[in-house]
Structures are given as structure tokens and as C-alpha cells.
Chains A and B, each alone.
Chain A
């Protein structure tokens, strides 16, 4: 791309997409294939789509002492990313926030994201359940949160399109029966279900058909272990697409390298073989009309007359370690913000746009996670396969939602790595090494004793990961404070976050359910929630302690609704106040249900793509270049 002497982009684009993550990459692909000229501006660097760059990320991950989601990806001062390591719990409860976010809420927002080509989907888990039809109408049906202006049926074709784009492996019949999701008759996913783990089979054997109660006098809930759909290469289903089958997408950056999931068991933070979908794969199939400019931090959206926007101003830098940059502008007929819920809100706030409802930045949501963990009475083969291959779906829907947040239970295949830092902590503990170097050390065990003790216990570790729906609350919000800026001078996000009573009651119910599940399993419960440096999410509710974690599912900050008075975007993710400004991503979601949101985000983005295509045709007539397929079919 060339810039004119005044730093103005010499070429005019039909669409500018801000952010080369999952939503932006899918949209750019769709619009480019339809013949539109798309400029994608990515704040972070572009090294991951080369194989040496990708291997560098893998080495960085290997060499990281804390193997957190952002561990493989190099820090970038020009486009900082939040890290889960930024939060520190205090000895008696409470937390301190370091790093990119400023936080002033009662509880911490505990999720990260990644500003680099490919975005946060470089370290997502790749789990892609659809939202349930009732998730779209929680206010109407259950009296909490916010409703969507559209329903499941409106989104269903786009769910299918997203499942095609991401190459989903799953069993639609099992999703229909076990999770209550409607599919068109005869629908099959592009690939057959990813095999479920041995741990799943053990749990299914001991739990399927058993009943638990959330209260002693409450109704029975019957348990069933249900396999989870994945955006992960497995075995293509020849029945897909009317018998045309599906061709799995290989890795980006290394020609003709495409493996099915080989069980690296590191989907988060990096899949070494790229069996898991990531947006680089979509970028590899972009039409030549899509231009990606990396190291381009959009600093504001530029306005024209009549509430329309005309383009963006961005800062181009060379060295991610220095604040040196040049400021440029780019213009287009339509601008799409696809930079993550928090970054989209920050950009709208900085640009003073889309503010008539007063909702920009509000309704910040995540899927707060409660983890429980224990030891099974036999070896279960932890730390193998994708992070979770099955879940318990019985608590996601139904009238109980009226009183407590619904939740989905993921069966965690990776031992206690998330809740307790295993196996590193187990080794240290057995050796007598305390994290506090000032404390006297235990004697420690060595040799065969150490080896046998680890072998006996590590192989029995398992965990349950409870993901709660968090409802839209206007008090949970992103704001900006001009006195706190990043090295390029852009205001940093200021977060105010808390969990509602509704969510906390959900967690209490989940803990009760977990206790019963552990009894049914005959497993030793080793769950413990205490304040401390590694527990910034500690709180007490109704006399019981809890520690919650973030899921990395930030949403709600440019909320979708039926009127300009109460929401930021319409059902097409188009800003009510600006007919040619779109804000796409989880930030548009009025409710998040209990489904990992990326698939829904992708479906929404593809739906918006259709609207943008119509907008452009109305503005300019048919695309100036004929429709042309980009990349391989």
C-alpha cells in the first residue's frame, strides 16, 4: 500500500476493516470474494503467518515460565495486549491490576486478548457450540439481561456458513438430542466429531442418567455427557454439503502442511500444527483485492457530514518497542470495527461516535468461570487431546434461569493445569519448594519416590470448568481516561466490572452440583478457594468462598438492540448513529448464553457481510470488479 505525501492513502477502498482477527478476516474474505476492495488495518505485527514466525511463537511458548494464553506472542508496546498475568490477588481479598487495563471495579475483569494478525483466535480453544434458541430472549422469557433483535432462526443459516468457514467437526444429532439445539433436517457438520477423551468416557459411564439437585427440595436434573463441536481438523464427513464433502484447511505459512489434530494438548495458547482453525487460514484465501496493513493502530474514526464516517486515522510504526510512528488516514465508503469488544468500544469512545444511546462501552460481559478439581480413583489420562471434548449441558436452559445464571460444564482434559498450575506446582510441592522463597523449605522427596508419587497422582487429575452466562449490566463498562495512555498516546481502557447476584447464585448452584458430581464419580474433591496472589477473582457469597476466572469471551460493549435509544448497533451490527459504520464482534451481543461465543460472532460477521454487500451495491452499483473466487475453492 502506498501513502501520499500527506500520509493519505493514495487508493480509495470500498471497505476498511479494523482488526485482522476472526470476525475481520471472515468479513474481508467475504467482501473481497464479492469484488470489493477491502483494506484491513491490524494494530499488531504480522509474523505469525510465516512458518519461521509461527515457530518462533512456539519456542517463545516453550521458554515461558508462565504458560498463559498470550505466552507465545511477543509483547508489543505500540499495540499492547492485556495479559491474565496483569492481575494480582491481595492476601485478604481484592486485587491489583497492572499492565494495559486500568481497573476500578469491585471484581477484576480477568480475560485477555491478543493484538496481532489472527487476533485472540490464535489462542482460542476452538470449541464451537451454537447458542440455544432461548438464549436470544432471556429478558422476555426469564426476566434478566437483554434480548436480541433477532432469533436463532434468523441466525441459523449463518451458523451453517460459519461452520463451513471454520471447518467444524461435530455430531449434529448428538447436539440436537443432548444439547437441545435445532438443526435443519439431515444436517451434518463438515467433519465427523472429534473423538471424546477417555476421561469423558469415564465420566459418562459414571454420570449418564444420574440425577442431581441444586437445592435439597429442588427438582432433579439428569446428567448426560455430550461431545462438543470443535473448529479443529478431524475426519471430513463425505456426506457434508450434499455429498460434496469437506476439504480441511492446512496450516498458514507452510505450503501443503495440514494435519488433523494430533493431540498436542496446547490449543490454548498455540496449536503447533494449526489443526485448530485460526484466522490466518482465512487470510491465506483472501482475494487479491484485500490488502492487509499491519503495525497500523487505528487511533480514531473520521466523520463526514450527515452522521456518516469517511475513514480512519491510523498510526503506522516500524518497531513495536518504540513509540515512533507516523500518522496516516485511509478513506472508504464503509468502515467496520472488528478489533475486539473492548478495543471497538475504546475506538468509539475516543472518536466520540455512536454515543446517542449512552451505551457505548457498557454491558461488558464475559463468561465467568468457576473451576472445581479432584482426583479420580483410577488413571484417566489427563493432559491429552483438546482442552475439553465433552460437556454437561443440562444446566444451560430452562426455568432455573429465572433465579440463577445458567451454566455449561466443560470436562477439563488437562488435569489441574488451569486451576492449580499442574504439574509444575506438584513437582515443586513434592520437592519442598515453596513459592515464597523466604519460607523454610520442606525436606522434599527425590528419586523413585518422587517419580512414583507424581505418576500415581498426576494421572488421576481432572477438573470441571463451569462457564456462566453473565447478563448485560450497564454498570459493567469500558471507559477512557485521557490521563492514562499507551506509548503511542492512545487512551488505555478503564474497566469497571463486577458479578451480579444472578451470576453468584449460579456459582452457588454450580458448586452444589459439583459436590454431587464428585460423589457420583467417587472422586476426591481437591477444590479450594482462598484469597492470595494467584486468586484475584476471590469473593465470598452467602458465607462460601469462590474464585472465578475469565474465559476470554469479552462482549456487550457496543450492544445490539431494536432501537437507537437503547442500543449502539442494529441487528446488522451497524451503528444506529452512523449508517456506514459497523462494529462487529462479541461486543454486539446482547446476551451470551453459555456457548463459547466465537461461532456466534463468526455467524454474525457473515450476516453483516451480506448487509454490507447490499449497502455497497446501493451506494455504488455492482462491484467494479466482477465476482471472483480468491484462493483455492
Chain B
């Protein structure tokens, strides 16, 4: 038996009494996402799929300040959008930090020189920005893994070959003298 098709609800977005605010789109931080795509090598869908764009945007501003972020964006622009060609060491360290944040959910210690150059009035310590930031780290996706303690793949899945590996083990490829 199938549920019979009903007519689609005429106005799906409006009139929710759920406390959500569908009349107003949340700030989408398109610029931060575009920069993050270049830094991380992950596309916009992957980055937004973490649900952490706003938190990372705000964390970055909070940690290094708006002027330094502005200089970093200008330096990245001058480098043709390729973070590898950023020459200013402070901007490059900001690039490292944002990338580290996306990959691990951890805002890292800045280089002591960067910390001093930015005259930061806070301790230069590494921290996990939120519990979800850890579980959404991109590093696990680089090898089709999952963060320990979250996103478990299911009973016995560890017995299956990971993507890119032969389904059944094969003899070693390099010969070593035993």
C-alpha cells in the first residue's frame, strides 16, 4: 500500500510557528566561504555542510581583528587568489590558522611574531572552537574517515576496504629483504 499523494502544501516556507524566521535569510558569508574554498581545497557545499561557516567567520574576526583580516584579503587578492603566493608572513599565518580551523576545528597558536605584529590582547593558545567544530573537521574527509567519537559508520564497516584499496588484500608492492 502506498500513501496516496496529497497536493503539495501550497506555501511551504511561510506560516511556520516553529520560531524559525523564514522571512529573513541568514547572512551567508559568501566572501569568507570563497576564501575558505581556496584555502582548504573543499568546495562550497562541503564547507557549508559543516554548519560552521558563521562560527569560523566570527572566530577569525575575533582572533585577529577586522583590519588584519582586511590586509589578509587584500594580500590574497594580490596573489591572484592563490594562498600559496601570499608573501606577507602575517597574512600567511592567518591563512594557516583559518585552514587549520577548517581541517581540525581548532584555532591554532599563531607564530609568536604574528601574535606580536597583531598586538593581540589575548593569550596565544590553541582551542577547539566548539564541540561540533571537532566533529566537523575536514581532515577526516581527506581519507574517507570520520572523527573518532562521532559520525560512526556502523558495525563491522571497519572490515571493508577503504575507497582506493583492493577489496581483498594483495601482496605487497615493494620487495623488502626479510
Contact = CB atoms under 8 A, between A and B. Distances in A.
B69 interface: no
B111 interface: yes
Contacts of B132: 62
A265 B152 contact: yes
B96 A445 contact: no
B105 to A, nearest CB: 8
A427 B139 CA distance: 8
Contacts of A201: 159, 168-169
Q: Which 9 A-B pairs have the closest CB atoms?
A: A385-B158, A522-B172, A381-B162, A62-B131, A266-B149, A459-B143, A451-B41, A519-B176, A205-B169
Contacts of B47: none
Given A266-B149, A447-B41, A516 B128 contact: no
Nearest to A441: B111
Interface stretch (A124-132, A329-337, A429-437, A490-498): A429-437
B146 A198 contact: no
Contacts of B157: 263, 384-385
Interface stretch (A3-11, A63-71, A352-360): A63-71
Given A62-B131, A265-B152, A378-B170, 13 more contacts: A58-B131, A62-B128, A196-B159, A234-B155, A263-B158, A265-B158, A272-B152, A379-B161, A381-B158, A433-B109, A451-B42, A454-B142, A522-B173
Interface string A397-436: 0000000000000000110010000011011100111000
Contacts of B100: 427-428, 431, 433
A501 to B, nearest CB: 29
Interface string B124-167: 10111011101100111011111011101111111111111110
A378 B173 contact: yes
Interface string A197-234: 11001101110001010000000000000000000001
A179 interface: no
Contact of B135 (A62, A202, A433, A523): A62
A175 to B, nearest CB: 19
Contacts of B130: 63
A27 interface: no
A53 B31 CA distance: 39
B171 A263 contact: no
B175 A522 contact: yes
B84 interface: yes
A199 B154 CA distance: 17
Contact of A431 (B99, B112, B146, B176): B99
A520 B142 contact: no
B178 interface: yes
Contacts of A451: 40-42, 138, 142
11 contacts: A62-B134, A65-B106, A205-B171, A385-B158, A437-B112, A437-B115, A447-B38, A448-B41, A459-B143, A520-B176, A522-B172
Contacts of A433: 96, 100, 108-109
B83 A447 contact: yes
Given A431-B96, A444-B92, A452-B41, A384 B158 contact: yes
B152 A206 contact: no
A-side interface mostly = loop
Contacts of A377: 172-174
A382 interface: yes
B174 to A, nearest CB: 4
A262 B153 contact: yes
How large, as a class, is the contact surface on chain A? 35 or more
B96 to A, nearest CB: 5
B148 A383 contact: yes
Contact of B158 (A413, A447, A523): A413
Contacts of B158: 195, 197-198, 263, 265, 381, 384-386, 389, 413
Contact of B143 (A270, A427, A454, A522): A454
A204 B178 CA distance: 16
Nearest to A58: B149
Given A59-B131, A437-B111, A459 B92 contact: no
A446 B84 contact: yes
Interface of A: 58-59, 61-65, 67, 195-198, 201-202, 204-206, 210, 212, 234, 260-266, 270, 272-273, 377-386, 389, 413-414, 417, 423-424, 426-428, 431-433, 437-438, 440-441, 443-452, 454-455, 458-459, 516, 518-523
A450 B152 contact: no
B41 A459 contact: no
Nearest to B106: A65
A79 B131 CA distance: 26
B92 A265 contact: no
B170 A205 contact: yes
B64 interface: no
Nearest to A265: B148
Interface string B72-105: 0000000000111000010011011001100110
A441 B91 CA distance: 13
B148 A67 contact: yes
A444 B131 CA distance: 27
A550 to B, nearest CB: 20
B39 interface: yes
B177 interface: yes
Interface in B36-77: 38-42
Nearest to B173: A377
B96 A264 contact: no
Contacts of B40: 446-447, 450-451
Contacts of B176: 518-522
B96 A458 contact: no
Contacts of B93: 441
Contacts of B173: 377-378, 522
* Residue in B104, B142, B174 whose Cβ sees the most chain A Cβ within 10 Å: B142
Nearest to A381: B162
A438 B166 CA distance: 44
A527 to B, nearest CB: 15
Contacts of A265: 146, 148-149, 152, 158
Contacts of B38: 446-447
A243 B143 CA distance: 43
Nearest to B83: A446
A264 B148 CA distance: 6
B152 A270 contact: no
